[in-house]
Amino acid sequence: MKHIFKLPNEYTFEKEGIKGTNFESKDLSDEAKFAVIEAETGHKNKIRENKCSFFYYILQGEGNFEINGKTEEC
């Protein structure tokens, strides 16, 4: 089982004001994914995912998340 994920040198996706890297985490859980995402200032994009859970850690900056119709400041 993989326990350590290292940040790669390249992004695996880039679209509509965000870019990031997805990490393969199926060894840990079929219900959660792990990604590092950078968002541009003023970025407004909705992500809809029904197949897994997300946990967000804000490392720098501020913004809002809308989850189930409720806006959370971060």
At 49 the pLDDT is 65
Domain that holds residue 35: 13-60
Residues 21-59: tens digit of each pLDDT: 887 777 677 766 778 888 887 766 666 666 666 677 777
Question: Which of 5, 66, 2 has the alpha carbon at shortest distance from 36?
Answer: 5
pLDDT at 47: 65
Pairing assessment for the beta strands 18-23 and 13-15 based on DSSP bridges = antiparallel
The pLDDT value recorded for residue 34 is 76
Q: Is 4 part of any domain?
A: no
In 3-state terms, what secondary structure has residue 32? Answer: strand
| Residue 74 maps to a domain | no
pTM score of the predicted model: 0.56
Mean pLDDT of 52-72: 78
Please count the structural domains in the chain. 1
Q: Report the sign of the C-alpha dihedral through residues 45, 55, 36, 23, in that order.
A: negative
Run of H or E including 61: none
Q: Is residue 23 domain-resident?
A: yes
